[in-house]
Amino acid sequence: MKKTIGLVLLLSVVLACTGAIAKEQRLYGTSALMAIVERESGSVAVIDSISHELIGKVEGLGDLKHASIVFSRDARFAYVIGRDGTLSKVDLLSLTLAAQAKAGAHSIGIAISRDNRYLMVCNYSPGGVVIFDSKDLKAIKEIPALLKDGKTLSRTVGPLDTPDNLMIFGLMEGNSVWVVDMKKEGFPVIRKFENVGDTPYDQLITPDGRYYLVGLQKSGWMGLLDTWRLDKMQRIDVRQRRIGVGEKEEVPIYHIPHLESWAITSGLAFVPAFGEKRVIVYSLKDWSIVKSIPISGTGLFVVARPGGREVWVDNVGAPGSKEERLVEIIDVDGLYVKKTIDVGTGAIDPQFTPKGEAVYISVRDENKVAVYDTDSCKLIKEIPLNKPSGIFSSDRASKFGL
């Protein structure tokens, strides 16, 4: 009898301890996380975007001054490419570094293939692209971006994935766009579009994956490609002076707009004008210009709130200027700026929770991320972080080009 009582007491103690440990251990899923780059410390902060609580950080990811992140299909892993070519696979459940590799001396841009098997990284140095196995980050193939002289390597930018399991990237010095078939053995380059414009610098694909656009630093247009046909690169005007609404206001380009976050909603594309204080609205039917909307500065990120009724735009100006504090909200139905929020110095990159009830904004110069309720535009919370920059929602795992 005493032995039985002793066993019961021991079991009770074990269960009590186990319960205490379970209460202390935080359990969470991965479909509503925010991975936020801390550019100065080489780390990524992971935040639960439902409770707006910091879960933890993963360090040792290299130079993240212009980092990009993509996610595995199940949102279990985040793949981070640093400016110094450090490629990292981060486990979002254990918050550990699962694998790491070197993609180049100077990298910019990463994409994951439709089948979740491969990663493509673009390089400024040594140029060209490198394809990696997503499981162990083993380099599988290099594709040199050789210019017509057969010797000089071009810097590459992008890349992005398509519904047909293609990868598309741009050659900055080559003024061209290449298409790689990720389904075929050896990953062949199946199309090369030459003379698309001067200095490709970034790309996007529409949410349905059909239309690809490339931005050009020194040309007055974008390149538009129908990925169903892959037949030609159409020119889309992006210069204010050419659209019949008066002379454009030339302003310094403090930061080059990011294409991947251009807003596509309600049959319209909202695009920041290059070197101008306005957002240009295009019709997706024929890519004609619908309207030009003045904003406070030059737009860096132009992002559609889930549901599509609003577009949120950050502003870039001179360091420390009023413009750099402002995020503006465009009404999609009326095509006008309906509200301006003073977020803080260096406010960039508004990124929404998966259903759009809240928005995260990096306030880099104040070492924090601000979280706003999107219905009331009231501040919910400020999360202290070290020089936060890019914000990446894990719901990108199921989206093309992100």
Q: Which of 124-128, 225-229, 270-274 has the lowest mean pLDDT?
A: 270-274
Q: What is the pLDDT of residues 19-57, one digit of tens each?
A: 333 335 678 999 999 999 999 999 999 999 999 999 999
Three-state DSSP string of the chain? CHHHHHHHHHHHHHHHHHHHHHHHCCCCCCCCEEEEEECCCCEEEEEECCCCEEEEEECCCCCCCCCEEEECCCCCEEEEECCCCEEEEEECCCCEEEEEEECCCEEEEEEECCCCCEEEEEEEECCCEEEEECCCCCEEEEECCECCCCCCECCEEEEEECCCCEEEEEECCCCEEEEEECCCCCCCEEEEECCCCCCEEEEEECCCCCEEEEEECCCCEEEEEECCCCCCEEEEECCHHHCCCCCCCCCCCCCCCCHHHCEEECCEEEEECCCCCEEEEEECCCCCEEEEEECCCEEEEEEECCCCCEEEEEEECCCCCCHHHEEEEEECCCCEEEEEEECCCCEEEEEECCCCCEEEEEEHHHCEEEEEECCCCCEEEEEECCCEEEEEEHHHHHCCCC
- pLDDT over 90 for what percent of the chain? 73
Amino acid 261: pLDDT: 64
Amino acid 260: pLDDT: 67
CA dist., res. 370 & res. 351, Å (int)? 11
Q: pLDDT band at residue 349, thresholds of 50, 70 and 90?
A: very high
- Fold (CATH) for 118-237: Methylamine Dehydrogenase; Chain H (2.130.10)
Residue scoring higher pLDDT (286 or 343): 343
CA dist., res. 259 & res. 261, Å (int)? 5
Q: Is the pLDDT of residue 9 over 70?
A: no
Amino acid 248: pLDDT: 53
Amino acid 378: pLDDT: 98
Q: pLDDT band at residue 18, thresholds of 50, 70 and 90?
A: very low
Q: pLDDT band at residue 64, thresholds of 50, 70 and 90?
A: very high
Amino acid 239: pLDDT: 63
279 and 302 Cβ atoms separated by less than 8 Å: yes
Residue scoring higher pLDDT (261 or 346): 346
Question: Mean pLDDT over residues 311-339, rounded?
Answer: 93
What is the pTM for the complete model shown?
Answer: 0.90
Question: Mean pLDDT over residues 310-315, rounded?
Answer: 96
Q: Is the pLDDT of residue 8 over 60?
A: no
CA 10, 11, 14: angle at the middle one, nearest 5?
90
Q: What is the pLDDT of residues 201-250, one digit of tens each?
A: 888 898 899 999 998 888 888 899 999 999 999 998 776 444 444 445 56
Scan for tokens 């997503």, then name that residue. 134
Amino acid 7: pLDDT: 43
Domain boundaries, the chain: 118-237
Partnered with residue 316 across adjacent β-strands are 298
Q: pLDDT band at residue 198, thresholds of 50, 70 and 90?
A: very high
Scan for tokens 């309600």, then name that residue. 266
Question: Mean pLDDT over residues 318-325, rounded?
Answer: 87
Partnered with residue 203 across adjacent β-strands are 214
Whole-number average pLDDT of the chain: 89
Long-range contact set of residues 180-186: C-beta below 8 Å, sequence gap at least 24: 180/120, 180/129, 180/143, 182/113, 182/114, 182/115, 182/118, 186/141
Q: What is the CA radius of gyration of the chain?
A: 23
Q: Is the pLDDT of residue 10 over 70?
A: no
Q: What is the pLDDT of residues 69-118, one digit of tens each?
A: 999 999 999 999 999 999 999 999 999 999 999 999 999 999 999 999 99
173 and 184 Cβ atoms separated by less than 8 Å: no
Scan for tokens 């210069």, then name that residue. 239
54 and 34 Cβ atoms separated by less than 8 Å: no
Amino acid 262: pLDDT: 79
